[in-house]
Amino acid sequence: MNALLNRFLPPPGPPLDVETRAKLLATVHRVTPTGIVASVLLPLLTTFAFWRAAVQGALLAWCGVMLVLSLGAAWFYLGYRRDATSMSRSAHTRKWWTHMRVLAFLTGLAWGSSALLHFYTSSTVFSSVLYLLTLGVLAGSVTAQSPVPSNLIYAGVPILVPNVLLAELAFPGHGVYVQMLLLVYMLMLARHALNLHHALVRAIQLESDSRRLAKRFQEEKERALHASEEKSRFLAAASHDLRQPVHALVMLVEALRARNQSSSLHPLVEQVAAGTQTIDLLFRSLLDLSKLEGRKVLPTLEPCEVGSLIRDVINQFAADARESGLSLTSRVPDELYAMAEPVLLRRALFNLVQNALRYTKRGGVLVTARQRRKHVRVEVWDTGAGITPEHLPDIFSPYYQVHNPQRDPSQGLGLGLAIFKECVRLMRGTYGVRSVPGRGSVFWFALAPVPADTVATIRAGRDAARAEDARIETLHGTVLVVDDDSQIRTAWIALMEAWGIRVACAAHGADADRLLAQGLRPDIIFCDLRLPGSENGLDLLERWQNSQPQARSALLTGDLKSDALAAAEEAGYFVLSKPVDPASLRLLLRRWLRPA
């Protein structure tokens, strides 16, 4: 018999934790109001319909028993709701878990008492209705008590036993059939109840797991946001100090170029200048990329000369390609502009070329760019291993590497193409790949072209700048520089004297006030935004507007973002970011100073 029951009924589940038991208890009590209404209406309707089919006193007694049951169930339900607000969850569950079983047993006794009405009737129709009512109550109990299947024993046995024992009295000659029918029906309901119980427990556990995962995700998200904010605060605080030595180096190298008269040293000086420009560019790219990562600064698209940028990236990888025995060439027009963000465009090209060289063992890599009617298309061709069609949809996903299934970190982390995709997306472009396994791949992206009138303006400005650079002239004027870094002051003196400009330097506002009091009349004042003491550069320039009306003024800053910088830009002051580009600085001096 046990073997048969074990095959027919599902196996019991693992012990339940307090949280799951509390939710199951709540599910049982959620249908209690419906059960209370049913225990009042069904006996009344049955009594009204079969008032003359049975002894009327017995019908009234049964209605009274069901009314007492309804009042008791309502009292239990209100007590359950009341204790839920005043007791801990675990104590509330322990108390009402027992009370729930008491209520189930009393409910079973009350509904089971309907079987006694068979003694007080001779109507087969009435007996049939009572058995149908019993079957309905058992089915309803399965729905109501399936969260706690043991309740079916407390409620089902008191209902089932009297009806089984009195089956022959209710249906003479057919009692055994009715008894077997009731037992089979109860076993089917029990199996259904256990299945519902397991499904409900699983749903509760999945919900709990989901909430724990959501909470953990929220905690990790908050931790990541906090780390990102900390990084942003660090960059904002440290960028000034990080930019200072680069700023000084750029100006000193430019001063060296202006003073050098030796033809033999000229190539070396130019190489040093080119290296310094690369350091300056990489430093700016690093800071700009860190701003773009947090999405707090949305990329602003501007006309970018694609050909020169491609050549810069190729020069960066030229040595690596030679060492690997690969060719690395480009095929681009002399002048090609696209709407892009310089940092993102450089990063996208860098990642594509790096990826192509990594997976190319022989042959080479070719970078092409051309303008079509509606876009500028850049392509990177390689003669590498290629990619099979089933891998193509996933290669732009983070950490996905076709040729590195062992996840060897020496072969990269699988982020290059994912970063490339994000860069192109931020520049409002499109991207794609074509590949033939064993022959190579072509990665491409397309950007919006620059309008023709904008290109004409760029060319005119470039030609004017070249014409000014071709003019050998010495500027005349006096410049006051206020900066607390001694290396920066030394660099300013070297560069301004190389350009023929008188320069006076001060470490702070009081030092500058002393120079002005001694009769210094500067034509231009360059003042660092962040200075020691209570005053910043903006305060000093506003104070000197009245005493030095002849002087033009500009602020120097290495800050990424600060309240003082925002106030200076709002006030309309000219702001130069460190490191200052020497070409832009010389152009500004030509506009503000008169030639000698």
Q: DSSP string covering 76-128, please?
A: HHHHHHHHHHHS-HHHHHHHHHHHHHHHHHHHHHHHHGGGGGGGGB--HHHHH
What's the number of domains the chain is made of? 3
- The pLDDT of residue 288: 56
Does 416 share its domain with 485? Answer: no
The yes-or-no verdict on residue 400 having pLDDT over 80 is no
Distance CA 115, CA 490 (A): 108
Does 327 share its domain with 406? Answer: yes
Domain-located, residue 236: no
Domain-located, residue 234: no
Domain-located, residue 461: no
| Per-residue model confidence as pLDDT tens digits over 516-528 | 999 899 999 999 8
According to DSSP, residue 31 is labeled T
Does 434 share its domain with 548? Answer: no
Residue at a domain's end among 150, 184, 217: 217
Q: Are 141 and 157 in contact (CB under 8 A)?
A: no
According to DSSP, residue 25 is labeled H
Instruction: Report the alpha-carbon angle 103-109-110, nearest 5.
Output: 90
Percent of the chain with pLDDT over 90: 14
Domain-located, residue 133: yes
* Phi, then psi, of 574 in degrees rounded to 5: -75, 125
The yes-or-no verdict on residue 258 having pLDDT over 70 is yes
The yes-or-no verdict on residue 101 having pLDDT over 60 is yes
The yes-or-no verdict on residue 556 having pLDDT over 60 is yes
Question: pLDDT band for position 282 (50/70/90)?
Answer: low
* Phi, then psi, of 572 in degrees rounded to 5: 90, 15
Question: Which residue(s) pair with 575 in the sheet?
Answer: 555
Does 477 share its domain with 351? Answer: no
Q: Could you tell me which residue, 238 or 455, shows the higher pLDDT?
A: 455
Cβ neighbour number for residue 236 with a 10 Å cutoff: 14
Does 408 share its domain with 496? Answer: no
| Per-residue model confidence as pLDDT tens digits over 302-333 | 899 999 899 988 988 888 889 889 999 999 98
Distance CA 443, CA 571 (A): 46
Question: pLDDT band for position 406 (50/70/90)?
Answer: very low
Distance CA 357, CA 361 (A): 8
Q: Over range 242-259, report the average pLDDT.
A: 77
- The pLDDT of residue 408: 43
Question: pLDDT band for position 458 (50/70/90)?
Answer: confident
Residue at a domain's end among 447, 477, 499: 447
- The pLDDT of residue 298: 61
Q: Are 553 and 537 in contact (CB under 8 A)?
A: no
Name the nearest CA neighbour of 465 among 577, 581, 552, 558: 581
Distance CA 402, CA 73 (A): 65
Distance CA 348, CA 58 (A): 89
Distance CA 171, CA 126 (A): 11
Q: Are 522 and 553 in contact (CB under 8 A)?
A: no
Residues 6+ apart with CB under 8 A from 206: none
Counting every residue, how long is the chain?
596
Domain-located, residue 582: yes
- The pLDDT of residue 331: 92
Q: Tell me which amino acid residue 263 is.
A: S
Q: In what order do the strands lie in the sheet with 502-506?
A: 502-506, 478-482, 524-528, 552-557, 574-577
Q: Could you tell me which residue, 215 or 566, shows the higher pLDDT?
A: 215
Cα Rg of the chain, angstroms:
43
The yes-or-no verdict on residue 38 having pLDDT over 90 is no
Does 439 share its domain with 490? Answer: no
Q: Could you tell me which residue, 180 or 565, shows the higher pLDDT?
A: 180
Domain-located, residue 346: yes
The yes-or-no verdict on residue 90 having pLDDT over 50 is yes
Distance CA 365, CA 330 (A): 8
- The pLDDT of residue 105: 87
Domain-located, residue 188: yes
Does 44 share its domain with 190? Answer: yes
Q: Could you tell me which residue, 452 or 288, shows the higher pLDDT?
A: 452
**At what angle are helices 124-145 and 175-259 packed, to 10 degrees?**
20
Name the nearest CA neighbour of 538 among 499, 566, 506, 507: 566
Structure tokens at 101: 């079983």
Does 435 share its domain with 519? Answer: no
| Per-residue model confidence as pLDDT tens digits over 465-492 | 666 555 556 678 899 999 888 888 888 9
Residue with tokens 């995700």: 217
Q: Over range 71-87, report the average pLDDT.
A: 87
How does DSSP assign 313-371, residue by residue?
A: HHHHHHHHHHHTT-EEEEE--SS-EEEE-HHHHHHHHHHHHHHHHHT--SSEEEEEEEE
| Per-residue model confidence as pLDDT tens digits over 137-164 | 888 877 777 788 777 788 888 888 898 8
The answer, yes or no, to whether the previous bond of 579 is cis (omega within 30 of 0) is: yes
Would you state the torsion angle of the CA atoms of residues 449, 277, 552, 510, taken in this order, to the nearest 10 degrees?
140
- The pLDDT of residue 581: 80
Q: Helix, strand or coil for residue 37?
A: helix
The yes-or-no verdict on residue 544 having pLDDT over 70 is yes
- The pLDDT of residue 232: 63
The yes-or-no verdict on residue 9 having pLDDT over 50 is no
Which domain does 562 fall in, by range? 469-595
Question: For 203-209, which contacts have Cβ atoms below 8 Å and span 24 or more sequence positions?
Answer: 204/20, 204/23, 204/24, 205/20, 208/19, 208/20
Question: Which residue(s) pair with 524 in the sheet?
Answer: 479, 552
Please state, rounded to an integer, the average pLDDT across all residues of the chain.
81
The yes-or-no verdict on residue 430 having pLDDT over 80 is yes
Give the ranges where 121-174 is alpha helix by DSSP (H): 124-145, 151-165, 167-170
Q: Are 438 and 385 in contact (CB under 8 A)?
A: yes
Residue at a domain's end among 195, 217, 239: 217
- Give the up-direction half-sphere exposure of residue 475: CA atoms within 13 A in the CB hemisphere: 25
- The pLDDT of residue 6: 47
Structure tokens at 117: 């009405």
- The pLDDT of residue 8: 43
Distance CA 554, CA 437 (A): 58
Does 211 share its domain with 66? Answer: yes
Distances (CA, A) of 506 to 514, 516, 572: 9, 10, 24
Question: pLDDT band for position 407 (50/70/90)?
Answer: very low
Question: pLDDT band for position 228 (50/70/90)?
Answer: low
Distance CA 575, CA 566 (A): 11
Does 441 share its domain with 476? Answer: no
Does 89 share its domain with 189? Answer: yes
Does 382 share its domain with 335? Answer: yes
Q: Are 181 and 128 in contact (CB under 8 A)?
A: no
Using the Cα atoms of residue 586, residue 587, residue 590 and residue 591 in order, give the sign of their dihedral: negative
Domain-located, residue 172: yes
Range of 41-55, 196-210, 279-293 with top mean pLDDT: 41-55
Looking up residue 306, the CATH number of its domain turns out to be 3.30.565.10
